[in-house]
Amino acid sequence: MTRQPRRSEMVADATIVSLAAVRQAAKNLMLVRALRDDRGFDEDWYADAVRREFELLATQAETDAERLEKARQKAHGRRGRAITADDYHAVDTRRLKRRIRVLEELAEELRRLAADEEAVRGVIAEARLRALDEITQAAASVPGAGRTKPLSGIARSRALQTLREELEDYLDD
């Protein structure tokens, strides 16, 4: 029989997923601002954006916890079988209480990360690298002048590295 994960493990897993979501949102924002809006890299601006994203996810977790608490209160005296996924009964109240606690602890952890300057700067650094990689991969896949097919192997790796270095020079302005 598979053991049930600890609440702390569930919060840690949800935090990892949330971090990935914040990193992805930051990367997408960097791409849009650089390519569409022709904006330079402003780490302080992105730090505020990352903090807002953490706060948005924390608020969503709290909202979900409140919704589940209402469902748990309604389920207390209900007997029978569930008809839909949101049709909770007395037998579900223990699991709901656990989910509520996980969501509340997740919200706390996300707010802690938003206040942690090192964590925020780490998300920005990772998002920036991923944005640069995405741009360099897109640029490297376009056949160059005089070539009939895209580069491959070591030549592609060298071209990507050269382009990455050039882009980093532009972003540091």
Provide mean pLDDT across the span 100-119.
Answer: 97
| Mean of per-residue pLDDT scores for the chain | 86
Q: Could you report the per-residue pLDDT of 111-138, keeping only the tens digit for each?
A: 999 999 999 999 999 999 999 888 888 7
pLDDT of residue 145: 47
Q: In percent, how much of the chain has pLDDT > 90?
A: 50
Q: What is the phi/psi pair of residue 71, to 5°?
A: -65, -40
pLDDT band for 144, please (50, 70, 90 cuts).
Answer: low
Given a cut of 60, whether residue 11 has pLDDT beyond it is: yes
pLDDT band for 139, please (50, 70, 90 cuts).
Answer: confident
Indicate the burial class of 123 (C-beta count within 10 angstroms; 0-12, 13-18, 19 or more). Answer: buried
Provide mean pLDDT across the span 154-158.
Answer: 84
Query: What's the rounded Cα separation, in Å, for the pair 107 and 36?
Result: 33
Q: Which amino acid is at 113?
A: L
pLDDT band for 146, please (50, 70, 90 cuts).
Answer: very low
Helix-, strand-, coil-residue percentages of the chain, each rounded to 5: 75, 0, 25
pLDDT of residue 98: 93
Q: Could you report the per-residue pLDDT of 35-81, keeping only the tens digit for each?
A: 787 777 789 999 999 999 999 999 999 999 999 999 888 877 777 67
> Mind giving me the DSSP string for 113-153?
HHH-HHHHHHHHHHHHHHHHHHHHHHHHTSPPTT-SS---H
